[in-house]
Amino acid sequence: MKRVLPSAGLSGPQHYWKMMAELSAKGGFTVSDVHKLTNGRSRATVKSYVIFCAKQGFVEAIGERPTSVPPSIIYKVRDRRMPAPVQRRANFASSQGRRCQQMWTAIRALKLFTIRELAVAATTSEIVVGEKRAREYVQLLLRAGYVAEIGQRTRRGQQARWKLMPACNTGPLAPATLERGAVLYDRNLGRAVNVTAPETAGRAA
């Protein structure tokens, strides 16, 4: 049901990696080379990703481009066949992270739930989860194919009922969002799911 999709648009780890791999096949790339092929991202964001890949050993420095001042480092992807590496977030200690963790824990415990029921179940004395936050989180999981709406709403104003798809109950750690919500990172699987073009999302019988 889940799959790692190629990038949608011209930004995000999947797109950066795709450009890095293509440029590597032609001899190598600099941070500026990759940045020129992105849409709307700062050069610092692209540089951070390239440096991350270099530190993890996914790319290697093979030389310098002396025509720039200061000289730019030329990199090359070691294995162009591997999927795009994704940076893990350091922790889930922020209030937003804790709120997502509480909602994920509640979703795993509830067989069926409405947005209102999820908000109530996920709220603690320290972190309150409102219906707006719960709705946003469910919509993110829906786009990634992690939850589905169950049954039909038969009257106006009736709240939808949702269910976590069994194959997507991957573990206790709440999925994290990357690239401003364009990518869902499953911390249990170590896998990124592009939520701008999911393979499956919708209604379950």
Let me know if 172 is exposed, middle or buried by CB neighbors in 10 A (0-12, 13-18, 19+): exposed
pLDDT digits (tens, 9 = 90+) for 144-166: 999 999 977 667 778 899 999 99
CA dihedral 76, 77, 79, 80 (to 10 degrees): -110
- Give, in degrees to the nearest 5, the angle at Cα 141 between 136 and 147: 120
pLDDT digits (tens, 9 = 90+) for 114-129: 999 999 999 988 889 9
What amino acid occupies position 155? Answer: R
Closest CA to 182 of 197, 195, 199: 195
In this predicted structure, the answer to whether residue 176 has a pLDDT above a threshold of 90 is no
Q: Which two tokens stand for residue 131?
A: 């219906």
Global confidence as pTM: 0.55
Distance CA 71, CA 48 (A): 18
Q: Which pLDDT belongs to residue 13? A: 81
Task: Kindly give the pairing relationship between strand 191-194 and strand 183-186.
Answer: antiparallel
Pairwise pLDDT comparison (144 vs 7), residue with the higher score: 144
Asked whether 36 and 201 are in contact (CB, 8 A), the reply is: no
Distance CA 91, CA 11 (A): 24
Pairwise pLDDT comparison (74 vs 197), residue with the higher score: 74
Q: Which domains does the chain have, with CATH numbers?
A: 13-77 (1.10.10), 95-204 (1.10.10.10)
Distance CA 197, CA 200 (A): 9
What amino acid occupies position 51? Answer: I
